[in-house]
Amino acid sequence: MPPDDPARERLLSDVAALPGLPGVYRYFDAQGNVLYVGKARDLKKRVSSYFHKNHAGTRIGYMIGKIVRLETTVVRSEAEALLLENNLIKTLKPRYNILLLDDKSYPYLKIVSHEFPRVAYYRGSVDKKHRYFGPYPSAWAVKDSIQLIQKVFRLRTCEDTVFNNRTRPCLLYQIKRCSGPCVNLIEPEDYARDVSHAERFLLGEQQEVMDALQAQMMAYAEALKFEQAAEIRNQLGALSRVLHQQAVENNTGVTSKDADILAVKVQGGRACVNLAMVRGGRHLGDRPYFPVHVDDATSLGEQADDAGDPEVQVLEAFIAQHYLDAGVPPLLVLSHPVDRALIDALSQQCGMKVTAQHQPREPRRAWLDMCIKGAEIKLAQLLAEEGSQQARTRALVEALDLAVENLDTFRIECFDISHTAGESTQASCVVFENHRMQNSQYRRYNIEGITGGDDYAAMRQVLTRRYAKIATALAEQGPGGGARLPDLVLVDGGRGQVSMAREVFEELGIDIGLIVGVEKGEGRKVGLEELVFADGREKVYLGKESAALMLVAQIRDEAHRFAITGMRARRASVRTGGSRLEDIAGVGPKKRAKLLQRFGGVRGVASASVEDLATVEGVSRELAEEIYRALH
């Protein structure tokens, strides 16, 4: 904004009126988007420094030029400011903050409450009804622990529906991975003791479990129950082998039985935080994270008087955001020192003392070194992968002679049609942007009102539905109104499909130069595809070794996969009538599950009488009649 701009003057006036207290500040642009969220021991001093220094030609200067207003929240302490800052970052996702993007919840090992509890893999929110152990860094770590529990303690893993209907033991019993509680081959008290030992083992009480098993074996021997004593002996042997392996492989030297080891590496504008988990004294593996906005955020972080190295900034941002909603272990082993206030804030939040250790001695040092090496390897892999992705995007732009200012915003939308002999026709649209497929922007379109098998009519319908509103918005608001067309539209097909796409674009007033068809080559062999253009250019063969063709083939194949999986799901739904049952008013997920379980599937529900339907728990006579009418 110019210096004499009223909005600029109002902004500077707001800055001058800030108190010298701890708090959190937020910068907004003209569209109301949050640009940056920061914390400060002294709001007035920190925020003023952004506007009273010369930042011309820097990322900070570019961001400051976009600020039109600010908001602040005064808090009681720096710890409160830190927690509020990262709550806002996770909620608002500002453009210039280091942001941890992770849509995956951690898996747990679950011991389900039952007379004979079972061991299960679980992902989701936990409750107090069952016992949960973890979290684990990956699914394989949970499954490895389940196999260990089966091998040593022989707990069941079968669902209750299977357990309740067994008449003889399954294969797991035969290979000594289950004690056969389904057919009463073990007493309830003996099974409960095995469950207790498994829980203590998962909590890290391995030696206590060994002592208890030893005492139990001796008691059986003294009572002349040699078969039972032999079973305990075998169990002790299996457990000893497991513990010996862990002593060699998982010697963390951590006094606490739960710890997280964190290593960070920053290079080439990207960052990797590698997290290794130790739970119950067992090393469960590691998991890499790749925060975004690292370049912009670290440049802005340098504005702060107490800012550390980029690695420290990334690590602090990760710790604050990652442990905001997740449980924090009592010990963090870190590759870089972090602000003590951050660790104090975590302790305050979780209600227990959290210790952060930097530069540990052996053997923790060995684990930290391994974690650091893992971060370096994973970041190098990411940079290499992104480099090749960018090269493919550039190769396609150059091959098609497209005028693209920014490769990072280059957008491709690809369409495909799928059906089975004209049944359940469905079109797919997949999106490629920022050098990768954007799964969250994929769309499927159910095609109705056409002759079965008419792919041209299906293509006309999906393109019209996809771009009619965008074309109208562009005509009314102009390019700056928010509506945007892709830079390239791929259709899976030759001249026929391209001609149909051209007709649609001409009717909507859209540039036909955006349309490119992917035509199968001779013999429909992969690598011989040719590109067909709607604007009259000659067909182009890129060559089977072309990076541009590899990208086109990847996008085309993804559109085909997305279309055919949707078509199959729709066809199955139509043939079984599943969707009809879900659409009945008053039949929610629980009642639907009870109906399907009671009658063995949708066909069983459809063949049931009103009287039979009314016998299901929660289904009244009126609802039974409604279900019967809907399915007949």
- Report pLDDT digits (tens) over 478-501: 666 667 899 999 998 888 899 999
The string of pLDDT tens digits covering residues 9-22 is 788 888 888 888 88
Residue bearing tokens 């906005």? 293
pLDDT of residue 578: 47
Query: Looking at domain 259-379, which CATH architecture does it have?
Result: 2-Layer Sandwich (3.30)
**DSSP secondary structure letter of residue 156:** B
* Residue % of the chain over a pLDDT of 70: 86
User: What average pLDDT does the chain have?
Assistant: 82
- Residue 250's pLDDT band, with cuts at 50, 70 and 90, is very low
| Residue 74 or residue 5, greater confidence | 74
- Residue 119's pLDDT band, with cuts at 50, 70 and 90, is very high
Tokens of 47: 């925020």
CB 349 within 8 A of CB 322: no
β-strands 118-123, 282-289: how paired? Answer: unpaired
Residue 267 confidence (pLDDT) above 70: yes
Tokens of 29: 């642009």
Residue bearing tokens 């130069």? 513
Closest Cα to residue 254, out of 292, 281, 275, 225?
281
Mean of pLDDT values over 87-91: 85
Residue 134 confidence (pLDDT) above 90: no
Three-class secondary structure of residue 630 per DSSP: helix
List the single range of 220-234, 296-310, 434-448 with lowest mean pLDDT.
296-310
> Which superfamily is assigned to 407-574 in CATH?
UvrC, RNAse H endonuclease domain (3.30.420.340)
Closest Cα to residue 417, out of 511, 317, 517, 348?
517
pLDDT of residue 248: 36
Q: Comparing 6-92 with 407-574, is the CATH topology the same? A: no
- The CA distance from 615 to 597, in Å, is 13
How is the chain split into domains, by residue range?
A: 6-92, 107-249, 259-379, 407-574, 577-630
Residue type, 119: V
The string of pLDDT tens digits covering residues 333-392 is 999 998 888 888 888 888 888 889 888 877 678 888 889 998 999 988 888 877 888 888
CA distances from 546 to 341, 495, 527, 529, 549 (A): 53, 22, 9, 11, 5
β-strands 515-519, 270-279: how paired? Answer: unpaired
| Residue 525 or residue 341, greater confidence | 341
CB 35 within 8 A of CB 66: yes
Question: Sign of dihedral through CA atoms 177, 179, 180, 182?
Answer: negative
Q: Which residues pair with residue 112 across a beta bridge?
A: 118
CB 163 within 8 A of CB 118: yes
The string of pLDDT tens digits covering residues 46-62 is 888 888 776 666 667 77
List the single range of 80-89, 264-273, 484-493 with lowest mean pLDDT.
80-89
Three-class secondary structure of residue 516 per DSSP: strand
The string of pLDDT tens digits covering residues 585-609 is 778 777 887 887 777 677 778 778 8
H helices of 93-225, in order, are 139-153, 160-163, 171-174, 188-202, 206-222
| Residue 617 or residue 181, greater confidence | 181
Q: Which CATH number fits domain 577-630: 3.90.1300.10, 3.30.160.270, 2.40.50.140, 1.10.150.20?
A: 1.10.150.20
pLDDT of residue 388: 83
**DSSP secondary structure letter of residue 102:** -
Which are the contacts of 247, defined by CB distance < 8 A and separation ≥ 6? none
Helix (H) or strand (E) holding 414, with range, is strand 411-420
- The CA distance from 156 to 184, in Å, is 12
List the single range of 12-16, 240-244, 306-310 with lowest mean pLDDT.
240-244
288 prior amide bond cis, ω within 30: no
- CATH code of 6-92, in short, is 3.40.1440.10
List the single range of 103-117, 396-410, 472-486 with lowest mean pLDDT.
472-486
CB 375 within 8 A of CB 264: yes
